């Protein structure tokens, strides 16, 4: 079996000013070679929380460009990681994942319970969608991200995932307890229920796959409710670096986050300390894993298949 080459971003939770708080890597599973292309050590971010503004997050591609989100800024790189441009918006805060369809790039704005859309032709933020709930009904309120009358700063649902497909925009959050689907008329429907505390929920084949982060597993559930569970890898405590540095236990091992579909059978998923694993969803087994570091603070965030080789 030919294994993939992936691109991954990371967040170093609990790092201090002057230290690296994330990076961008390529991982070749055929040779097990890991190459770091960007070391993210900006000093002008908010270090108040354990993860907060640190690190780099979602990844998308357009033509020969790599688009990578930070907490409140969108960066464009060439295929050899030369910085081509960056774009900010006041309603982009604590961004997690991004997803492209045609010339539109969708971004999660966790801090505003919103999705933002960036137009790759005009290189500007073109519209946003603020998420609220009325009883059991999900409501999306469209807004102009360039205006001053946008949504309030809020983090009720912690929207951390967006996946754009032909039949709609799928998104979910740490506290949404549901995978949601946005239609072209701006209506929102619940696709299925989810546990509290998940990352990277998205449709796969005839089911849904997600990092059940609270339970330290990756789950795939098909349409009839049959489930395949992959345990997130963990390591001997004595092998971990900076273990116990965070009394809140946010920076911990086996924290599952980061997911991409390699093909109909294979998916890649991330965890901390920064590890990327390949799973066979048909055989129900982990087939490969690469560890980048044993620093317990260092967690994988974004994952995509590398398209340029």
For 208-220, how does the pLDDT look when each residue is reduced to its tens digit (9 = 90+)? 999 999 999 999 9
pLDDT of residue 37: 94
- Checking DSSP bridges between strand 5-12 and strand 207-212, what pairing results, if any? unpaired
* 239: helix, strand or coil: helix
pLDDT of residue 53: 54
Between CA 165 and CA 172 the distance in angstroms is 14
Q: In what order do the strands lie in the sheet with 217-222?
A: 199-204, 207-212, 217-222, 227-231
Of all helices (H) and strands (E), which one includes residue 104?
A: strand 104-109
Q: Classify burial at 147, counting beta carbons within 10 Å of its beta carbon; exposed 0-12, middle 13-18, buried 19 or more.
A: exposed
Contact 204, 227 (CB under 8 A): no
Between CA 151 and CA 159 the distance in angstroms is 14
Handedness of CA 305, 306, 308, 309 (dihedral sign): negative
Supply the Cα-derived Rg of the chain in whole angstroms: 18
Residue-level length of the chain: 309
Contact 287, 279 (CB under 8 A): yes
pLDDT of residue 40: 74
| Residue found under tokens 């890649």 | 268
Is the N-terminal amide bond of 273 cis, ω within 30° of 0?
yes
pLDDT of residue 244: 66
Between CA 39 and CA 26 the distance in angstroms is 13
Q: What are the boundaries of each domain within the chain?
A: 5-305
pLDDT of residue 118: 98
Q: Classify burial at 178, counting beta carbons within 10 Å of its beta carbon; exposed 0-12, middle 13-18, buried 19 or more.
A: buried
Please identify every stretch of the chain with a pLDDT value under 50, giving residue numbers as ranges.
Answer: 15-16, 18, 43-52, 247-248
Structural fold of domain 5-305? Methylamine Dehydrogenase; Chain H (2.130.10)
């Amino acid at each position: 079996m030919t294994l993939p080459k992936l691109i991954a971003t990371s967040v170093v939770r609990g790092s201090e000013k002057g230290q690296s708080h994330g990076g961008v890597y390529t991982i070749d599973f055929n040779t097990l070679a890991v190459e770091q292309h960007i070391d993210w050590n900006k000093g002008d971010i908010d270090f108040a929380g354990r993860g907060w503004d640190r690190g780099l997050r979602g990844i998308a591609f357009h033509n020969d460009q790599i688009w990578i989100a930070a907490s409140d800024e969108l960066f464009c790189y060439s295929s050899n990681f030369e910085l081509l441009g960056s774009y900010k918006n006041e309603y982009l805060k604590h961004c997690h994942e991004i997803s492209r369809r045609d010339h539109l790039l969708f971004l999660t704005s966790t801090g505003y319970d919103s999705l933002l859309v960036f137009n790759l032709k005009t290189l500007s933020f073109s519209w946003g969608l603020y998420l609220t709930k009325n009883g059991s009904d999900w409501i999306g309120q469209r807004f102009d991200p360039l205006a001053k009358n946008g949504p309030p700063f809020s983090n009720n649902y912690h929207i951390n995932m967006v996946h754009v497909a032909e039949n709609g925009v799928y998104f979910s959050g740490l506290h949404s307890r549901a995978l949601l689907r946005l239609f072209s008329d701006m209506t929102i429907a619940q696709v299925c229920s989810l546990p509290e505390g998940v990352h990277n929920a998205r449709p796969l084949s005839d089911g849904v796959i997600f990092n059940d982060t609270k339970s330290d597993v990756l789950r795939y559930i098909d349409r009839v409710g049959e489930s395949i569970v992959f345990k997130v890898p963990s390591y001997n405590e004595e092998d971990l670096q900076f273990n116990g540095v965070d009394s809140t236990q946010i920076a911990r091992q086996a924290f599952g986050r980061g997911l991409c579909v390699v093909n109909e059978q294979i998916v890649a998923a991330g965890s901390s300390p920064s590890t990327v694993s390949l799973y066979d969803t048909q055989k129900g087994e982990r087939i490969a894993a690469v560890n980048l570091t044993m620093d317990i603070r260092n967690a994988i965030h974004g994952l995509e298949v590398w398209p340029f080789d």
